[in-house]
Structures are given as C-alpha cells and as structure tokens.
Chain A
Amino acid sequence: MRTITDISVMIAGRAGDGVLFTGNVLAKILKKEGWEIVTYRDFPSNIRGEATNYTIRASQRKIYGRSDSIDVLLAFDCDAIIRHLPSLAEGSIILCEGADLARYVTPADKGIVYHQFPIKQLAREWFGSEIFKNMIVLGALCHIMDLETTIVHEIIRDAFLERKGANIVKKNLQAVKLGCEQAEKIVEPEEKHSLEKRISSKKLLISGDEAIAIGALAAGCRFFAAYPICPASEIWQWLAKVFPRYNGLVVQTEDEIAAINMALGASYAGARAMTSTSGPGASLMMEGFSLAGMTEIPLVIVHVQRVGPSTGLPTKSEQADLNMWVYGAQGDFPRIVLSPGTVEECFTFTIKAFNLAEKYQLPVVLLTEQDYGQNLRTTERFSLSKIKVDRGKLLTQDELLKIDEYKRYRYTRDGISPRALPSMINGLHMVESNEHNEKGYREEDSRNRNRMMEKRMIKLRTARKELIAPRLWGESEAETGIIGFGSTFGPIQEAMDQLRGRGLKTKYLQIRTLWPFPTQEVEEFITGCRRVFVVENNYSGQLSSLIKGQVIGCPEIKPILNYSSQTFRPREITAEIEKGT
C-alpha cells in the first residue's frame, strides 16, 4: 500500500455540471480531515455547456499552488481526459462517464488506470434525476481516497437541511452511499489512493476575495460601491450579506465610473469606502483614480486581475494590469499599489490599505489575481490582535473649532493636511478637481501649482517608512534569485521546494508594495545574486520593466513569463531556472 502525502483530484465536465459545488465539498472534506488545500478552477466564462474543470490539491505539508500533475480524474465526458492526459501522473486513476476512451488513448503505458463509471445513468436510475450525479461523484471519490463519510454527511446537512429540507438531505446521502458502493465494485483495492487519517484542522478554507471582504469589514469599511465583474464579485457578495448587520451599505452602480465616484463621495463625507473591479472596469475607473489623487480623498480600490486585453478571458488569472495602476490615469499624483501573495496577506493588506489611504489621503490599490481571488486555500486563522483603525489627520469637531482659519489643503512638511468633513462647523471648504489653493478653490497660479504638486507628491516620501517591505524567502546565501509579486508566490514556493530537493539553492524576493517601488531592497537583492529570474503572468514582463526603470544600472534579469491564462505549474519555473544556471 502506497503512502500518499500529496494528491491532486480533478473533476472535469461541462459548465452546469455542478463541478464547482462538488469540488468545494471535496475541498471541505479534505480540509476537515486535516489536509492542506489549494483549489484551482479552470472555468469558462459561460453558464452552461463549455468544458470546465476544478482541481483540488491536498497535501500533508504546506502547499502554495497547484502541483505538476493530477492523480485522480473524475470526468463527466471523454474530452476532458484527452485534454488533461499530459498532466496525469503515473499510477493515476480515471473514472469517466463516457465509454469510448480506449478509442483515443492508451493510458496503460503511463500506468494509468481507467474505469468507465456511468455517473449520470446511475443518478437517473436510482434517483430519477441527473441532479444527484455530483453526490455519486463525491461518494466515488470518498471510496478511492478512503475518506470518512461522516464528514460528508455533516457537510451535506449544513448545505441542504435549512434550504431544501430533510428529504433532500436523505436523498443526497443515499447518492453518496451509492457512489461509494459502485466505485467499490469497479476499483481494485491496489488502484485506490487511500489517504491516511489525520487530525481535524482548525485552519480556514477561504478564498482571497473572501479574505479581502472580511479585512474590509475589520478595517471599518462601511460603504462599498461596485459593478458586477468576474473575478471580483465574491468580495461584493460577501459584503452584501454581512454589511446590513453593521449599518454598512453596498450599492450596485450603473458602471465602474459611478462606482469609484460614489465611493469617493462617501469617503469625502467621512465613511471608509471601497470599490472592487477587474480588467475593463479598472480602465473605466482611471479618471476617478486620478480625481482621488487630486482631491486627496482616501480610497481603497481592489483589482482582482483577470486575463486581458479587452474582455480577455474573464474567469482566468493574469498579472498584466500592473502598468495600469503604477503608471495609469491622467497626470502625476501619489498612489500606493499593494500586492498580497497569500490569503492571509489579502486580509492584512486590506486593513493596511484603509489605514494608508486615510493617513496619507490618497488612493490605495490592492492588486490581486483571479487565482488568489477565487480559489480556496487553507490558511491559519487571521490574527486579530494587531488590527487598528488609524484615521490619520481627521479632525474632530473640537479640534476644528480651535483652528483660526481652516484650510483643507494647508501646506505641511509631511504633505498631509488635516481633514474636516461636511457638516462640521468651521470646516467649510471646497474639493476641487481642478488645481486648487490651500482652501480648495481653483487656482491657476504657477507658484501655487508647484507647491500643491509637491505637497501631494511628498506624501509618498512620508509614507515610505510604513509601507510593506518586500519579503525574502529561501536561502540567503543562494546565488540564484527569483523576484515576483502577487499570486506567483504559490508556484515560486513550489518550484523552490523542488529545486532544493534537487540540490539547487534559491532565494526569492516577494514584492509586496509595487508602488512606491522598493528600489533599495530590490537593488540589494539583485546585487546579492549571480543570476536573477523574474517570474510573472504576463507577456511583456511588466515587473521586469518596472525593476529596470527603478534600479539604476540593473544587471541582466531573466524573465520567466506565462500568459497562457493558466497559472504556472512549478515545473515551468524549475525548467527555466535549471536551464539558466
């Protein structure tokens, strides 16, 4: 009997087959059994009919992203098998609805076991409806992996009892049992991928989008305006459920232009406000982004990157919108762009984003990716002890009354001017999208223009000391360095583990604030390496360009790029590094 420490299960079908639901339940079961989880959804932007697959990876060690291969494939049709055959590991097992696989492939040469498993037919025969097919799949997977069905029962009860009633729960449980029994009939004991029992874990199983939403609530965000867009809508959906309990408000706007301007209006009036978007929606937000910079109104913008350009691939992951937020929008204005690399950082950086935005009175962008936004990962419970709401130089009414002549945009050494809110006595002022003077009124004098520009821009220098520094991973004495941002964190960590196993030491600088750019830290890192690879999910190497633009006399850095719409498999990174060292 083999010992399994790491397993990847793919459920493949067509949009509408319930692949997401089944996969999420499986992820939950495995998590409850104490395994580390990373899920990977590869969905089309389609409700019904197109090919879709969902991979659940479970491991006994800390994992960060998907692995190089699939061990168990449960497919609703043969097409999925043909497509994913190259990724199937030696000794893997396939259960497939379709009967004619042998016509296309000879999996036997890779030691792959194939069984025809009439999922939909079973569901029809036993329960009179194909809808039960997902429970049959779950039952079959429980058998293959030797999972406790008591946990499955709990999860099904949680999912259905309240909404659908006891009868539906009963039928679903029967379907799980049937799946288990039927699989037992066709799967030989030695073909099983039995997972050993582990102690139930108290960790969270959560997506980055959900972590951001909880972070926003914890940070005091009470106003959220957005337009529906993949893959950022999960943030909204969570807030929409929870905000009413906290006197918070979620507004569905007519477009992203309205979303950012509405959030700015709310923030100007004193609320902590946020908007979230992706791809084309972010393009629409550019003029409002610039307005936030000019009017010095705090704002948090979450951008969950999908594949571009244009409408692109709305449900898949990319990192090609870095340039947009670092360089985009009319004029020069101060901005902070944060890039979380883990689910926990999605939570903590969101809180940080609100404090930075309000303290420095500028827009803060939280740039994430679909991979972290929508996929689930096990993570330690978020630490709550360090949460604080820092409202910066927001004046109280008493403080404002003591000021002789209040000036909203008073020149200060640190560039930050005390802020009064509408309704406050003695705080009347103007917020002006045109260039303005200290009182906020339109002013075209060039000396005032220079001072105002400098006042606004100097805030970034003031903020520098409390920005999130890059994090160094791996062996500090390693000669091979890797630089990345955001969700490449997962595949880079996986690749480093593999390389370490093969005797190649590496170190990795995870850039967590993209702007203002951490030039000094990056320069030091590059200087300390013999060769540097920059890993990113885009075509043009946007991070590489940023590094070259910021680090004077930057030596050669080798880009490792993936713009396929799929995240990196670890082997794509290891292969490039091994080739280049």
Chain B
Amino acid sequence: MKNKIDYHLEDPTWCRGCGLFALFSAFKKAAESLKIPPEQLVIVTGIGCHGRLNNYFRCYGFHALHGRALPVATGVKLVNPRLIVVGISGDGDAYSIGLGHLLHAMKRNVNLTYVVVNNLIFALTQGQTSPTSREGFVSISHPYGSPEYPLDGPRLALAAGAAFIARGFSGEPGHLLSLIKKAIQHKGFSLLEVLSPCVTHNKVITYQWLKENIELIDQDSSYDPKNIQSAWDRTAGGEKIPVGLIYCQKKSSFEFLVDQDENRPLVSEDFKVKREELEKIMDGFE
C-alpha cells in the first residue's frame, strides 16, 4: 500500500462553492501524484481570497504583500533550485498591482509555476472591478458600469515570451489537475490561469456562464500548442474563452543560463571567503 502524503492542514473557510476549493483539491492531488515532499514545496501567495490557501496547505508557505508573490518566489527558487516553488495570485494580484512583476517573471523565465486564480473581480475587498472584469461590469467601485476593457493574461504572456501558458477552469477539476501537473513539470516559468467563479460577489461570471462560454482546446485535435500562431489566433477574442494548454515550448531557464547548479544550490555555500582571496581583491585597489 502506498503511503499517502499529507498536504491537508486545515479545512478551508472560503465561501461555499468558491472556485478555490477545486484548486486546493487539485493542487494536493498534483503534489501527491508528483510525489513532492511537503518540505520541498514552497507556495508563495499574494493578497486576496486565494492567499488563505497557505493556511490550509501543509508545506512551506509565504503569504507575501499584495502583488509581490512573484519576486519573493523568484528569490526562493534562485538560491535553492531544488525546491518546487509555486506562486499563487488572484487577478488583482497578478494582472493589476503585480503586473510588472508578472511580465518580467515571464521574460526572466525562472523555473516557477504561477497560478492566477481569476474570478474577474476583487473579492476580498468586497467586490470591486478587477483588471479582468468585462467592459460595462457593474460593481461597488463602478456602479454605472466599468468604462475599461479587460486584460487577457494568457495573451499578455504570449507577448512577454512565456514558454508555458495554460488556462484551467475550476468547474473542470480533472482537467485542472492535469494542467497543474504539466505546469509544475515544465522547465521554466509556467503561467496557469484558473477561471474560478466568486459565488458571493460576482453574479455575472458564474459556473453556468463559464460552462457556456469556454471551449476546451485540448479536445480540438487540430490545435497545436507548440505553434505560437495558433495560440495567437485562438486567444484573439473569439466567441469562446479558450481553456487548456494554450502554448508550450522548450526554452532555456534563467537558472540554466546563469549556470546555477541544482546539485550545489547557493544556500548550501559556507559563505566564507578565504583571507588570501580578500587580500588579492584589495591588491587590485592599491
């Protein structure tokens, strides 16, 4: 009988029906199936309802500042590449206050997995318009409807040079699990957006609405996720929201390019410099 690894620390207290339950559950299954010891897993979250995930997930956790999950996760991974480092953010965290970090994380291509839980609203702060809210969306921050157009994370990721771009849906937990596993296994930065309804504040983007408005691109045999042009075409704002592996390509990671040896992580150094070497350095200033 195989030993079940315990990642479950506590039962979540998200609103009943929240899309985050599906992510929590799929993530535990993915970690289990990839046999990641909890001690080797670091989950860095931002500010938002998703940030509570750290309280429920048994592993090393870091609940960072709003929008700053990625820089923290990058620092952790770079000094100890043996760790599996996962960043989790909401759409506000990733696409609003932390968007600069996201674009550069994709450009930098450190071997991280980044999950963006997209509920198209600011939920923890009681339901303001978010960067993915559709134009005209009525919320407490825009009682007369949002005058702005939404951002599309995966499409931005294509432009930023990300080599793994996927979108899941919390209403399709089995599919989500397979995407999480692929994202973790990908060498380099992986962006996984998860459409995740907020049952309390978002009465427009519901499970039902999403079911009717997404298309599972994995089921389309003509779709080739290695082909960037098909990824551009499919994310161009057609009738349906593409869900599945949007784009995946091999690309050397930052760690590889700066010659970070996974068997000799920076944190394992003794941090001492020989006296003769410091003397030699000083000679250079004589």
A interface residue numbers (CB < 8 A to B): 202-206, 210, 214, 217-220, 222-223, 225, 242, 244, 246-249, 251, 253-255, 257-259, 261-273, 287-288, 291, 381-382, 384, 389, 421-425, 427-434, 440-442
A217, A266, A424: the one contacting B78 at CB < 8 Å is: A266
Which A residue's beta carbon lies closest to that of B107? A254
Q: A220-B272, A384-B278, A442-B63 are in contact. Are A423 and B101 (CB under 8 A)?
A: no
CB atoms of A249 and B39 under 8 A apart:
no
CB atoms of B65 and A255 under 8 A apart:
no
CB atoms of B72 and A264 under 8 A apart:
yes
Which B residue's beta carbon lies closest to that of A440? B61
In the complex, which residues of chain A have a beta carbon less than 8 angstroms from the beta carbon of B282?
Answer: 204, 214, 381-382
29 example contacts (A-B, Cβ-Cβ < 8 A) are as follows A204-B286, A214-B278, A214-B282, A218-B273, A218-B278, A242-B281, A248-B266, A249-B79, A253-B104, A254-B100, A254-B103, A254-B104, A258-B68, A258-B74, A258-B100, A259-B71, A261-B64, A261-B75, A264-B75, A265-B44, A265-B72, A266-B78, A271-B79, A384-B279, A422-B39, A429-B60, A430-B55, A432-B54, A440-B61
Q: A257-B71, A422-B76, A423-B82 are in contact. Are A428 and B285 (CB under 8 A)?
A: no
Nearest 9 A/B pairs, CB to CB: A265-B75, A220-B271, A261-B71, A270-B267, A266-B75, A265-B72, A254-B104, A271-B79, A262-B75
- What's the least CB distance linking B182 to chain A, in Å? 24
Q: A249-B258, A422-B83, A430-B54 are in contact. Are A269 and B40 (CB under 8 A)?
A: no
CB atoms of B76 and A266 under 8 A apart:
yes
CB atoms of A268 and B39 under 8 A apart:
no
Most chain B CB within 10 A, of A223, A251, A425, is at A251
- What's the least CB distance linking B94 to chain A, in Å? 14
CB atoms of A254 and B278 under 8 A apart:
no
- CA separation between A273 and B78, bound complex, in Å? 12
CB atoms of A247 and B264 under 8 A apart:
yes
B173 close to chain A: CB less than 8 A: no
Q: How large, as a class, is the contact surface on chain B? A: 35 or more
In the complex, which residues of chain B have a beta carbon less than 8 angstroms from the beta carbon of A210?
Answer: 285
Which B residue's beta carbon lies closest to that of A441? B55
Most chain A CB within 10 A, of B54, B272, B273, B278, is at B273
CB atoms of B269 and A433 under 8 A apart:
no
In the complex, which residues of chain B have a beta carbon less than 8 angstroms from the beta carbon of A427?
Answer: 39
Q: A246-B273, A248-B266, A422-B42 are in contact. Are A253 and B61 (CB under 8 A)?
A: no
CB atoms of B104 and A247 under 8 A apart:
no
B interface residue numbers (CB < 8 A to A): 38-40, 42, 44, 47, 52, 54-55, 58-65, 68, 70-80, 82-83, 100-101, 103-104, 258-261, 264, 266-267, 269, 271-273, 275, 278-279, 281-282, 285-286
CB atoms of A249 and B44 under 8 A apart:
no
CB atoms of A442 and B55 under 8 A apart:
yes
- What's the least CB distance linking B92 to chain A, in Å? 15
Which B residue's beta carbon lies closest to that of A294? B65
- What's the least CB distance linking A386 to chain B, in Å? 12
CB atoms of A223 and B75 under 8 A apart:
yes
- What's the least CB distance linking B264 to chain A, in Å? 7
CB atoms of A206 and B273 under 8 A apart:
no
In the complex, which residues of chain B have a beta carbon less than 8 angstroms from the beta carbon of A204?
Answer: 282, 285-286
B63, B259, B264, B266: the one contacting A271 at CB < 8 Å is: B266
- CA separation between A271 and B269, bound complex, in Å? 9
CB atoms of B65 and A263 under 8 A apart:
no
- What's the least CB distance linking A261 to chain B, in Å? 4
A268, A428, A432: the one contacting B72 at CB < 8 Å is: A268
